[in-house]
C-alpha cells in the first residue's frame, strides 16, 4: 500500500487550517540538544509529575496549582526528595495545596529514583541521557520511561517529552485515527508493533520533508478530526 506523502499531508493541513502561514504558526518547536542537555534533572521530574497529574484530570486545574506543587516538593530537588521518609510522603499526599491523590504523589519519589538510577547507570546527567537518545527511535525512549518510571506509559511520557522540547510525534486520537485509516497501524496502539510502525512512517516523512517529528505529528493531526482553525494546541494534536 502507498501511504500519503508529506506534500499531500501538508496541502490538506493548509486547506483545513487557513493556509500555509496559519499552519506554520501552529507547529510546535523543539529544543536543541544543547538545551535538553543543560536542563536540570529537577525540571524533567517536574514535567513528568505535571503530566502524571494532568492525565485523566483537567489540565487547567493542575496548572493553577503548579506553584504549590513546586513548593510542596522542594522545586523537585531529587536528592532531597529521595531522603524523604514515608510518613512525610503521606502528609504531602494530604496537602490541600496540591491535588490529593496518594498514588500520583507516590510517582514523585518513584520517578526521582528512576532519574537518579539512570544517571548512576549511564554515568551522565538525565538531560544528557535524553539529548543523546536518537529521535529516529523515540518510541524506545517511550518504552524506557514506561518500564523504568511510574505512570509514564500511554501518552503521559510522550506528552511530557514534547512539552520539554524533545522531538517526538504523539499518538493522539487524531493521529491514531489517521494511522489506522491508512492501515499503517493494525494492532493495539500501545503495542511495540504499532509504535514501531508509526515511528517508521514518521521517519519516512521526515526524510521527505526535513521537518521534525513534532511538526509532522501536528501536520498529520490537522488533516483529520475536528477542524478548529487558529487553535494553536489541542490534546488531539
Cell reading at 167 = 522531538
pLDDT tens per residue, range 26-48: 999 999 999 999 999 999 999 99
**132 & 110 share domain:** yes
Residues whose CB is less than 8 angstroms from the CB of residue 107 and which lie 6 or more positions away in sequence, other chains included: 48, 49, 52, 149, 150, 151
> CA-CA distance, 14 to 8, in Å (whole number)?
10
Q: Of 141, 164, 187, which marks where a domain is finished? A: 164
The pLDDT, as a whole number, for residue 227 is: 67
Range of the domain at 137: 33-164
The count of structural domains within the chain is 2
Class of residue 8 by CB neighbours under 10 A (exposed 0-12, middle 13-18, buried 19+): exposed
The pLDDT, as a whole number, for residue 87 is: 94
**80 & 144 share domain:** yes
**186 & 77 share domain:** no
**46 & 80 share domain:** yes
The pLDDT, as a whole number, for residue 173 is: 95
pLDDT tens per residue, range 38-81: 999 999 999 999 999 999 999 999 999 999 999 999 999 999 99
Only one residue has cell 502524571, namely 52
Reduced 3-state DSSP string for 159-193: HHHHHHCCCCCCCCHHHHHHHHHCCCCCCCCCCHH
Q: Of 164, 188, 209, which marks where a domain is finished? A: 164
Residues whose CB is less than 8 angstroms from the CB of residue 124 and which lie 6 or more positions away in sequence, other chains included: 132
User: Sign of the CA dihedral 129, 235, 186, 183?
Assistant: negative
The pLDDT, as a whole number, for residue 125 is: 98
The pLDDT, as a whole number, for residue 225 is: 74
The yes-or-no verdict on residue 232 having pLDDT over 70 is no
Does residue 209 lie in a domain region? yes
pLDDT tens per residue, range 181-227: 999 999 999 999 999 999 999 999 999 999 999 999 999 999 997 76
Nearest to 203 by CA among 144, 135, 143, 155: 135
Does residue 229 lie in a domain region? no
Amino acid at each position: 500500500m502507498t501511504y500519503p506523502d508529506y506534500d499531500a499531508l501538508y496541502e490538506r493541513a493548509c486547506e483545513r487550517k487557513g493556509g500555509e502561514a496559519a499552519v506554520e504558526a501552529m507547529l510546535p518547536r523543539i529544543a536543541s540538544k544543547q538545551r535538553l542537555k543543560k536542563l536540570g534533572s529537577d525540571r524533567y521530574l517536574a514535567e513528568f509529575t505535571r503530566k502524571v497529574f494532568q492525565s485523566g484530570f483537567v489540565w487547567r486545574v493542575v496548572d493553577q496549582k503548579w506553584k504549590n506543587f513546586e513548593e510542596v516538593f522542594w522545586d523537585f530537588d531529587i536528592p532531597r526528595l529521595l531522603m524523604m521518609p514515608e510518613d512525610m510522603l503521606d502528609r504531602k499526599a494530604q496537602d490541600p495545596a496540591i491535588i490529593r491523590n496518594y498514588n500520583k504523589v507516590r510517582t514523585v519519589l518513584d520517578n526521582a529514583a528512576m532519574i537518579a538510577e539512570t544517571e548512576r547507570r549511564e554515568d551522565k546527567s538525565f538531560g544528557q541521557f535524553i539529548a543523546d537518545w536518537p529521535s529516529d527511535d523515540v518510541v524506545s525512549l517511550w518504552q524506557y520511561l514506561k518500564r523504568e518510571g511510574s505512570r509514564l506509559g500511554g501518552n503521559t511520557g510522550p506528552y511530557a517529552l514534547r512539552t520539554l522540547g524533545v522531538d517526538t510525534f504523539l499518538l493522539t486520537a487524531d493521529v491514531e485515527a489517521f494511522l489506522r485509516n491508512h492501515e499503517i497501524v493494525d494492532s493495539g496502539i500501545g503495542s511495540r508493533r504499532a509504535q514501531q510502525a508509526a515511528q517508521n512512517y514518521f521517519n519516512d516523512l521526515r526524510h521527505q520533508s526535513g521537518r521534525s517529528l513534532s511538526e509532522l505529528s501536528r501536520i498529520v493531526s490537522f488533516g483529520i478530526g475536528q477542524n478548529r482553525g487558529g487553535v494553536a494546541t489541542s490534546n488531539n494534536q
